[in-house]
Amino acid sequence: MKKQTLLSGIAPSGRLTLGNYLGAIRNWVARQDQYKCFFPLVDLHAVTVRQDPTTFADRCRDFVALYLACGVNPQTSVVFAQSHVAEHCELAWILQCYTQVGELNRMTQYKDKSRRNKGDMNAGLFSYPVLMAADIVLYKADLVPVGEDQRQHLELTRDVAGRFNGLFGDVFPIPEAYIPDSGARVMSLQDPTKKMSKSDTVAANVIALLDDPTDVARKIKRCVTDSGNEIVVREDKPGVSNLLNILAAVTETTTAALENEYVGQGYGRLKSDVADAVIALLEPIQARFSDLRSDELALDAMLAAGALEAGKTARRTVQEVHGALGFIPKSSRVGPRA
Ligand code: TRP
């Protein structure tokens, strides 16, 4: 039986966090043998907000090296830069012609971003979900692991793909979202009602995958907890719930089991256990990262191989789409200009 295809991406802005690992990258790694996987580094998405060109490539390489350090296997999964495969933009254009302005206007992430980016409300922020749809259908992905915040973009992708199929026949599979349950959601350390965000500029809110152990320990020790002293997952205890969720995810147990274990214990003990567990998780990742990141030529060559492979599938899909739309097929015979 042919393997199904899985695709997911993270925009290279900010720094990858413990939340990205527990909520996303770890799930990619767990599924990469079962599915044919594509992991584009979605750099074209990142330029919807201003990036510093003198550091952008290095940040992108950091992201890719971290994917590999976390266990993504470039021998079996296709890891590449979105900007290296021009078909993403080509297909995004065509899909824009099958997307209604009204649909994009309803995207809550766009509404939030336009509120926050008053000074630079560029058209890319608006059409961003169509580029994401193109990323997905270009490889005919069946399964798309994303965070809860991307559910609406996935719905749009399904609508646009379904609409296209309705007009032109079954060109695209309709992708399923795979959204990890809320337990896998890591929240900000200082405001545990908000998601831990890789673009958060307040370092104390975030555990970055490359934070050194002393920073990790200090941030966890100082994170916000709640009044009272019970160690339980409960709505009125977002700080303690977050610590329990992190510990359960890192040590692969349940929060219920941890609640039992911590009866009668204090917050101090919980925090030091969380810190130890997170540090033990990050240490081998950081060691592999330094190895991988120190060989930039090898990293770039891996991305080139990924782009070559992704490009083959991407070209095939674009040709199929061009055919469906009735474009003149591009002849493989070049003759004299008439
Ligand atoms: N928009 C996604 C995010 O912000 C990133 C993304 C871009 C993506 N293209 C994708 C995710 C394709 C999954 C599939 O998280």
Residues acting as catalytic residues: 113, 195, 198
Q: How confident is the model at residue 113 (pLDDT cuts 50, 70, 90)?
A: confident
pLDDT of 115 reads 85
- pLDDT (tens digit, 9 = 90+) per residue, 277-298? 999 999 999 999 999 999 999 9
User: Is residue 184 over pLDDT 90?
Assistant: no
- Which residue among 10, 42, 142 has the greatest number of ligand 1 atoms within 8 angstroms of its CB, and so is best to mutate? 42
- Give yes or no for a contact between 175 and 143, defined as CB atoms under 8 angstroms apart: yes
If one residue of 135, 144, 149, 199 were mutated to test the ligand 1 pocket, choosing by the most ligand atoms within 8 A of its CB, it would be 135
Q: What residue's CA is closest to ligand 1, atom 13? A: 8
Q: Give this prediction's pTM.
A: 0.95
Q: Output the pLDDT for position 183.
A: 62
The domains of the chain, with CATH numbers, are 5-183+296-325 (3.40.50.620), 203-291 (1.10.240.10)
**What pLDDT, on the 0 to 100 scale, is given for residue 182?**
65
Ligand 1 atom closest to the Cα of residue 11 is 5
| Mean pLDDT of the 105-110 span | 93
Q: Which helix (H) or strand (E) holds 248?
A: helix 238-251
Determine the Cα–Cα distance for residues 164 and 96; give it in Å rounded to an integer: 11
pLDDT of residue 148: 86
Using the predicted structure, report yes or no on whether residue 117 has a pLDDT greater than 80: no
CA of 45, closest atom in ligand 1: 7
Average of per-residue pLDDT across 146-157: 93
Around 246, how many Cα atoms within 13 Å sit in the side-chain half-sphere? 32
pLDDT in tens, 232-267: 999 999 999 999 999 999 999 999 999 999 999 999
Q: Bridge partners of 79? A: 39
Rounded CA-CA distance 316/275 in Å is: 48
**Model pLDDT for residues 7-52, shown as the tens digit of each residue:** 999 999 999 999 999 999 999 999 999 999 999 999 999 999 999 9
Report the SS3 class of residue 94: helix
Residues touching ligand 1 (Cβ under 6 Å) are 7-11, 42, 45, 132, 135-136, 144, 146, 150, 153
Is a pLDDT exceeding 90 seen at residue 226?
no
User: 314 near 308, Cβ under 8 Å?
Assistant: no
* Residue closest by Cα to atom 9 of ligand 1: 132
Helices 267-294, 56-69: crossing angle, 10 deg rounding? 110
